[in-house]
Structure 1
């Protein structure tokens, strides 16, 4: 199971790296082209925007894994340990329910706009809106992978604890 989790995390990270690199190259190329030739790449802004959308949804799960989302812990801190664990379990159930609802709604929305085409690249908008169900599915998977440590100990993964960590593998 740890090997599968390691592959899953590494794949998620590399997809984000590739998307960020593609965005950077596209935007940089567009700036250079505009500066040197007074010509703008017609599709550059659109593609960079859609890549940003995908990067946001695909990266949300990794951010959840490390506890990087905004949290207000005043109520949690004021409770006894057993009540804290119960509250964290309730939070996990609510998050999972929300993620599943968003997968369903996101899929329905993506299917609803499949006939609409983007202005510059002329691809169906469903490809862009597919980021919603895919991103929330990844959020659900990441949540399920950290649920035991989170509910029991209010612990998120640290970069050094995560199998397949890019930083750890580079320094080893």
Structure 2
């Protein structure tokens, strides 16, 4: 699973690099050549969506999603509370990613079957939603792994351990 997560991180990094290059090229083209390229804005939006969903899938293992640090700091000294917060995080991630997998797969399938195309790029819209569905499958798997680690008592998987101390 570490290799898959590393590949996902590399994919997100490459998408960010491509997004940056697209925007620089488009700014140059608009200001110097007085012409813009068709589809660059659409492609940039899709890259941003992909980066977001890939990142969400990978950071679940490090509790990188939005959290209330107050509760995590309070849970540092209480193993049961820390474990409960971790399991709540896992349950939430499983429900949300399951929702995205179920409806994303249906939407992608319908778009592939109906022939919905992105006008400026000439590709099926199904690819965009299929990619999101794949990223959510990764998030689901990572949440299952995290949940298993919490259930077997792997202390390194508890959420309070990922906080950094305020003191220097």
Instruction: Assess same fold via TM > 0.5.
Output: yes
Give the structure 2 partner of residue 104 of structure 1: 102
In 1, the alpha carbon distance for the partners of 2:122 and 2:141 equals: 32
Matched, 1:18 2:36: no
Give the structure 2 partner of residue 58 of structure 1: 54
Give the structure 1 partner of residue 146 of structure 2: 146
Give the structure 2 partner of residue 123 of structure 1: 123
After superposition, the Cα gap between the structure-2 partners of 1:37 and 1:73, relative to the gap in structure 1 and judged at 3 Å, is closer
Give the structure 1 partner of residue 166 of structure 2: none
Query: Is the CA contact (8 Å cut-off) linking 2:111 and 2:126 kept in structure 1?
Result: yes
After superposition, the Cα gap between the structure-2 partners of 1:65 and 1:86, relative to the gap in structure 1 and judged at 3 Å, is closer
Q: TM-score, normalised by structure 1?
A: 0.75
Runs of at least 5 residues in structure 1 that lack an aligned partner in the other structure: 159-172
Q: TM-score, normalised by structure 2?
A: 0.76
Question: Over residues 63-116 of structure 1, what are the superposed CA-to-partner deviations in whole Å (9 max), with x where a residue is unaligned?
Answer: 222211112366674796435534543542343233223201111112223321
In 2, the alpha carbon distance for the partners of 1:157 and 1:52 equals: 30
Runs of at least 5 residues in structure 2 that lack an aligned partner in the other structure: 163-168
